[in-house]
Amino acid sequence: MSQLKKRSVAVSFIFQFPKDDTTNTRPKVALFKRSDKVRTYQHKYAPVSGSIESFDVNPLTTAWREIQEETTLTPCSLTLFRQGKPYSFVDESIQREWTINPFGFILTCDPSKITIDWEHDDYAWFDPADVADDQKVDGVPKLLESLRRVWLEFDLGAAAPVLDASLTRLKGDHESGARQLAGIALGAFADVLKKSDISDKEVWWANARRAGWHLWKNGRESMGAPILSVVLAGLDVVREKTSEGLSADVVDDIVASLDELARQREASASRIANAFAAFLQQRPADGPIRILTLSSSSTIASCLTHALASIGHRLDLRILESRPLCEGAKLAYKLSSFAAEHNFSSRVDITVMTDAAAGIASQDVDLLLLGADLIDRHGNVSNKTGSLPAVLAARHVSNNVKVVVVSEKEKVLPFEAPGHEDNDAGEVTRGWDSVGVVRGQRPGGDVKVRNVYFEWVNNGLVDVYVTDEGISGTEDVMRWAADIERRAKDVFDGL
């Protein structure tokens, strides 16, 4: 027998949703009939597909390239709404081992914009449910398996709309921090379990794991580390509670335990705040502690309000406004309101400065305080864009500054981090009208506006991690990462 050829591919399902949610019209998925010019599976229906090349940054890069080549559609005409868990299978008839990376996209333009290339003879729109019927769709091998990984209805049934709505909420929430999003995800996980069919325990357990995977990967993956952590904790609860069997009463018990888990998470914020206050008390009390920070991390807010309430030091807080949504200004308002309400105003000075003034704001600072949306297994920190310039400015201007990251250990991610998250450019351009730049007006040349939310701060630039386990270092981060990786592989491998 000849050796199998291994090939990794990205497959992309393009969906068309009804414009009016009040109608009974079902969503449709486009499938493309492969021509006789392709080497495999001629005249079979398939999603847009293509091999992942060595120069591709990731499978999603492949997906976008193949979509443009095979349909002429671009990111202006499509929205990525879901990625599916990769899987592999062997097709002995052609001596191939395929690794499939599925994606789902929503068409946002008129279907007439689709122009197929030589790889396809035609394309057609199908109800996703019809793909399960070989008489209706003559498809490539494992077509249904690929589709079900991005179309929740096949596995989750009545629970699918609940999970879908939760994913939409997570994806669209640009105000909540990573910790808060994880709390939302934990609540969504409980809601999905309540709606899931309990007639078959093994199927129910598999669907609980699938729901957890999708909450991690398809909510806000750039802030997905704490979501993964709470999902793993939730699945630990599920496994323990169902060891003797599954019933409606058991599900109720699981949901109650998940509610208790949510309350326990709140206690971790108190532990971090206590550790931070103890860290500040090591500093001399003969002058103010000068702290520079940015954005509006709920963990940072908790640490600073607790410090005001529990230590005698005077605080000089300098907060960068954090464009484009000015979360830093919101943090300043929250802190000043707390100080006024609790008669601490005489012990704190709060100054808001522009992001561009990071160098000036760094003069003589003792601490640069960062939150974290994600910490990789080496201790590198992903946080609000503007974090790296602030760190570099502070280290250049203030020789004795300490860069302190405050974060729950649940924000450690042992797997490859997602790419940069580009968001609505309108958030950036909204304030331009006042300076004579009208939004929507075409400039004289090609000008691209980007709104990148997060960036990385290298672990070599971080002095201290203050976590729910106290003062921590990179060796602690590596230990936590190894534990999370082991637990994630245990529940998600084989799905």
Q: Is the pLDDT of residue 12 over 90?
A: yes
* Mean pLDDT, rounded, for 48-52: 97
Q: Is the pLDDT of residue 438 over 80?
A: no
* Mean pLDDT, rounded, for 349-364: 97
CATH superfamily of 272-415+451-486: Translation initiation factor eif-2b; domain 2 (3.40.50.10470)
Q: Is the pLDDT of residue 445 over 70?
A: no
Residues 179-207 have pLDDT tens digits of 889 999 999 999 999 999 999 999 999 99
* Mean pLDDT, rounded, for 319-333: 95
Q: Is the pLDDT of residue 439 over 70?
A: no
Angle between helices 225-241 and 474-492 (to 10 degrees): 50
How many Cα atoms occupy the beta-carbon half-sphere of 484 within 13 Å? 24
Q: How far apart are CA 374 and CA 221, in angstroms?
A: 10
Q: Is the pLDDT of residue 440 over 90?
A: no
The H or E element containing residue 116 is: none
Q: Is 345 exposed, middle or buried (0-12, 13-18, 19+ CB in 10 A)?
A: middle
* Mean pLDDT, rounded, for 10-34: 90
Residues 398-417 have pLDDT tens digits of 999 999 999 999 999 999 88
Q: Where residue 431 falls among pLDDT bands split at 50, 70, 90?
A: confident
Q: How far apart are CA 167 and CA 218, in angstroms?
A: 6
pTM of the prediction? 0.86
Q: Where residue 299 falls among pLDDT bands split at 50, 70, 90?
A: very high
Q: Which long-range contacts (CB under 8 A, 24 or more apart) does 198-205 make?
A: 198/246, 198/247, 198/248, 198/251, 201/242, 201/245, 201/246, 204/246, 205/238, 205/239, 205/242
Q: Where residue 2 falls among pLDDT bands split at 50, 70, 90?
A: low
Residues 334-343 have pLDDT tens digits of 999 999 999 9
Percentage of the chain modeled with pLDDT above 90: 84
Would you state the pLDDT for residue 432? 85
- Tell me the DSSP string of 35-103: -TTSSSSTT-EE-EEEEPPTT-SSHHHHHHHHHHHHH---TTTEEEEEE---EEEEETTTTEEEEEEEE
Q: Is the dihedral of CA 320, 324, 327, 329 positive or negative?
A: positive
Would you state the pLDDT for residue 443? 54
Give the chain's mean pLDDT. Answer: 94
Q: What angle do CA 159, 413, 455 make, to 5 degrees?
A: 105
Q: Is the pLDDT of residue 227 over 90?
A: yes
Q: Is the pLDDT of residue 107 over 90?
A: yes
Q: Where residue 430 falls among pLDDT bands split at 50, 70, 90?
A: confident
Q: How far apart are CA 81 and CA 164, in angstroms?
A: 10
- Which stretches does DSSP call E strand in 245-400? 289-294, 315-320, 348-353, 367-370, 374-376, 381-384
Which of the four CATH numbers 3.30.360.10, 3.40.50.970, 3.90.79.10, 1.10.10.10 does domain 5-151 have? 3.90.79.10
Under DSSP, is residue 224 helix (H, G, I), strand (E, B) or coil? coil
Q: Which of 120, 210, 199 is nearest to 156 (CA)?
A: 210
